[in-house]
Structure 1
Amino acid sequence: MSREPAENLKSSSYSIHAGSGSAIEGLDKPGSVVVRLCLPLLNEGRLIIADNYYTGIALARYLKDRHTDLCGTLRKNKVNLPKDIIQKKLKRGDVVAKQMDSFVTVLKWHDKRDVLMISTCHGKEMTDVTSWRGQSKKPNMVMDYNDAKKGIDVADQLSCYHSPLRKSMTWYKKVAYDLIFQTAIVNTKVIFEEATGSSISVLDVQEAMIRHWLGDVVMKKQPARISTLPSTSSERHALTQIPRRDGKLVRRRCVICYANKKAEGNPLLAKQVNTECLKCKKTFCLKCFNEAH
């Protein structure tokens, strides 16, 4: 593994794991990834939150020298960790911590299981919290980590909805799809909701962006699902989603599919859809709608 001097660092906002690459002097590869991604943010007194794959004593020391703090979960097989903390047996609610180099704190707390943490800006202070189990104490280090990490978890959850990724795709196509149809979509949703104060689904954002890229031709053929349609759209035949009932999708049988299946003696096999014609107020699947209009 080659080593790269710190003065030759180049920042990156997106990193693709290729199985090889250089590491920064004094750091392993995961720690080097953190530094490269956060290079423009160093020397500003910021706090970096990372999970147990990236954290370590060496990374904490490096960032502290760059006036940046680190907080995150920690793997017990990382090098230079205090063995008395790693091997300590704890009961639920117990906590033990040790400070290294006067600024790196390694903490172990037992909740449902052992939680190992590292931080350069926390001690072993605890805060009273209330949960379904009642009153308990939780380390401030854990609370700050959870508060920062939950944004990433929510973004990952939102990006997996209606994902266009498929196992058969080439890897570089997956990268492009992730940026355009997942990361950008979630960012657009967040910005829209903060700017307007109204809620919008991930699917609505995807459809609005695709329709914008494809232009007016698609807009004339089929209106968007977003509720901000012009009032004149109800005066022409157009396929739209049936209004939800108590927040749940409403599904009905396509009228043409039902008639065809009824003639065959199997009306219950008719396709159920959640779309209807704005003008006819009848339920259609896409195929039958195009044939009827």
Structure 2
Amino acid sequence: MDSKNEIFEELASKMNSQLSVETGNDDHDESYSRSENESDGEWETMSESEWSISDSDWSIAGDTESASDTEDEFSLSSVTPSLKDWSDEIRSAKVCPFKLKPGLKESCGKSPVDFFKLMFTRSLFEFLVNNINNYAMKIIYPNQQGRRFKEVTVNEFYVFFGLLLNIGTINTNIIDDFLKTPPIVEDSEEFMSDVRFGIILKCLNFEHELPGKNDKMCEISHMIDYFNIMMRKLVNPEKVLCIEESITVPCYEHVYLLTDEFGLAHKLVVYQYDQKPGPNVAKTLLEDKLDVGHSVYLSDVYNSLELTKFLIDRKTYVTGPIQRKRFGVLKEFKEKQLNKGEKIVKYNADGICVTKWKERREIIMISSEHSGEWKQYIDAYNQKNKKPACVLEYNKYRDSIEKHDEMMGQYYFVCGKKTRTTYKYKRLGVHILQMLMLNAYILYNKYGGKSMSLIDFRTVVVKHLLSYGKRVRV
């Protein structure tokens, strides 16, 4: 940890020497009673180089594709011969044992604050504070004569972030929680003036310029890198993973998540609104999760035969529906009309099973793990029924991404105006901060030794952040 601190201090000193601007701090009417040095040893620090990736690593195959493109990397024009050899004979799936031990990679305390600090390192807060100060000094205050800006400190940002989280808590639509639990902060003026809070919020930005990168993704890429690298560094995922688009993000970009069955988000990737989603989304999210035996469940938007073949060769199972336009190898299988309750099942030499089944409508499922044979279950009316095994397994795990969005929406707050293009990356950055908060809560409930409701977890964290300083008149 000492080496990490030395690296970061060296980088920070270089950055401050280039970007520092002298300001008058003596005219500001408030300060914070808790000293800056008091918290230096409490937060884990991480060098900026450890959670930022190179320009070549950040680029995503297909980033330049537009919505007019007709096919993606997994086009069916390049179907391999093994995918063309289909049979009615049942063939066993390849054996891909799961090699990871799910759980935390690093030791952690047992309190909610410990898990919060596990996800939010001091280095992250220092990065955000530096961005706020630079934005204020370069963009806003040079154009306003006679006004001086007091630079934001890390301790003051803790208070600001606590008040920001409190906004989502007191605006909950869960009436019972709101009536039983008084607001965490009854008077925010006790900690920070409304004017000061508004200034920091206006200057909040997540921009990090990448060498040779001129696109707008540099405004949010650093936060995406931080989220993905922190999750990879801290947690070994469960065997079951799911891929879907998050619907709670209030911006024009498409955010795709890799979650487990408990709603814990392990990775995210952002596509701009004019980029076409497809199987390449799945490959990007899974690129560092291969060869260990994961079982992946995904919708027809991201699935294809070529993707399934690619992943099973990398010891990763896939189960999910597939679009007809991506199903270009079994014409007779695709076009045959079925009656309700009928199914057709085909297998290939790789153990990949394709099932066409009709209940209320026809569904084509592909799985490299589960068969298409009938499997009994008890339905919602407590009656025995049957469905193909691959359909039952897919239905079992497909709601995990909805579980993530449901928990995010309980105490969600929006930052910025949707109609302003300049605000959309701020909204996305604040959304990522809230995802980190939710991940800390899920990890605490799994490994903290004691379960807690989300509102109680947020209450403990907000009170801790606000303890870093009260507003003192001077």
**Normalised TM-score (structure 1):** 0.60
Give the aligned partner of residue 413 of structure 2: 164
Q: Distance in 1 between matches of 2:292 and 2:428?
A: 30
Question: Which aligned pairs between 1:109-258 and structure 2 lie closer than 5 A?
Answer: 109-133=357-381, 134-165=383-414, 168-169=417-418, 170-181=423-434, 183-194=435-446, 195-200=448-453, 202-215=454-467, 217=469
Structure 1 residue 147: deviation in Å? 2.4
Gap runs ≥5 in structure 2: 1-61, 65-71, 74-224, 229-266
For 1:88 and 1:212, the matched residues in 2 are separated by 63
- 1:113-159 CA-to-partner distances (Å, cap 9, x unmatched) read 32321111222122111113411112221222222323222111111
Per-residue deviation, 1:171: 2.2
Q: Output the CA distance in 2 between the equivalents of 1:87 and 1:185.
A: 48
CA offsets per residue over residues 7-37 of structure 1, 9 Å max, x none? Answer: xxxx96321102577xxxxxx9622221222
Q: Which amino acid aligns with 1:52?
A: D
Q: Distance in 1 between matches of 2:327 and 2:321?
A: 14
The higher relative CO (CA closer than 8 Å, separation ≥ 6) is in: 2
Residues 67-107 of structure 1: CA deviation (Å, up to 9, x unaligned): 22211121222242523333333333322222245433221
Please say if residues 57 and 81 of structure 1, whose CA atoms lie closer than 8 Å, have aligned partners that are also in contact.
no
Within 1, Cα distance between the matches of 2:364 and 2:430? 35
Contact 2:417 2:424 in 1 (8 A): no
Pick the aligned partner of 1:18 from 263, 268, 272.
Answer: 272
Which residues of 2 match residues 267-282 of structure 1 at below 5 A? none
1:185, distance to aligned residue in structure 2 (A): 3.3
Q: Provide the rounded CA distance (Å) in 1 between the counterparts of 2:290 and 2:314.
A: 6
CA pair 185-114 structure 1, distance change in 2 beyond 3 A: farther
Which residue of 279, 297, 303 maps to 1:49?
297
Percent of pairs with identical residues: 20
Deviations 1:172-217 (A, max 9, x none): 1222222222x233323323333344341x3333333333223255
C-alpha spacing 1:147/1:185, structure 2 compared with 1 (3 Å):
farther
- Going from structure 1 to structure 2, the CA distance change for 1:105 and 1:179 (only over 3 Å counts) comes to same
1:55 CA displacement: 0.2
Counterpart-to-counterpart distance in 1, 2:427 and 2:457: 20
What SS does the aligned partner of 1:121 have?
Answer: coil
SS of match in other structure, 1:45: coil
1:112–1:185 distance in 2 versus 1, CA, 3 Å: farther
- The yes-or-no answer on 1:34 pairing with 2:286 is no
Q: How many pairs were matched up?
A: 205
Conserved 8 A contact 1:93-1:136: no
1:72 touches 1:117 (CA, 8 Å); kept in 2? yes
Tell me if structure 2 keeps the 8 A contact 1:99–1:105: yes
Partner of 2:399, secondary structure, is helix
Helix, strand or coil: the match of 2:387?
strand
Structure 2 CA distance for aligned equivalents of residues 166 and 84 of structure 1: 52
Change (3 A) 1:100 1:176: same
Describe the shift of the 1:174–1:73 C-alpha distance in structure 2 as closer, same or farther (beyond 3 A).
farther
Deviation for aligned residue 1:39 = 1.5
Could you tell me whether the CA contact under 8 Å between 1:159 and 1:185 is conserved in 2? no
**Unaligned 5+ residue runs, structure 1?**
5-10, 22-27, 219-293
Q: Distance in 2 between matches of 1:97 and 1:89?
A: 14
Supply the distance in 1 between the matched residues of 2:346 and 2:416 (Cα, whole angstroms).
Answer: 45
Aligned to 1:104: 352
Q: Does 1:94 align with 2:346?
A: no
Q: Does the 8 Å contact 2:296/2:316 carry over to 1?
A: yes
- Deviation, 1:58, is 1.2
Tell me how far apart the structure 2 counterparts of residues 103 and 20 of structure 1 sit (CA, whole Å).
36
Larger Rg: 1
Structure 2 Cα separation of the partners of residues 68 and 15 of structure 1: 20
Q: 1 CA distance for matches of 2:363 and 2:297?
A: 16
Q: Which moved more, 1:133-142 or 1:207-216?
A: 207-216
8 Å CA contact 1:85–1:107 kept in 2: the answer is no
The answer as to whether partners of 1:185 and 1:205 remain within 8 angstroms in 2 is no
Counterpart Cα distance in 1 of 2:329 and 2:378: 32
Q: Distance in 2 between matches of 1:82 and 1:168?
A: 49
**Residue range with higher mean Cα deviation, 104-113 or 118-127:** 104-113
What is the rounded CA distance, in whole Å, between the counterparts of 1:163 and 1:185 in structure 2? 11
Q: How many Å separate the matches in 1 of 2:342 and 2:327?
A: 24
Preserved CA contact (<8 Å) 2:296 2:318: yes
Change in 2 beyond 3 A, CA 1:197/1:142: farther
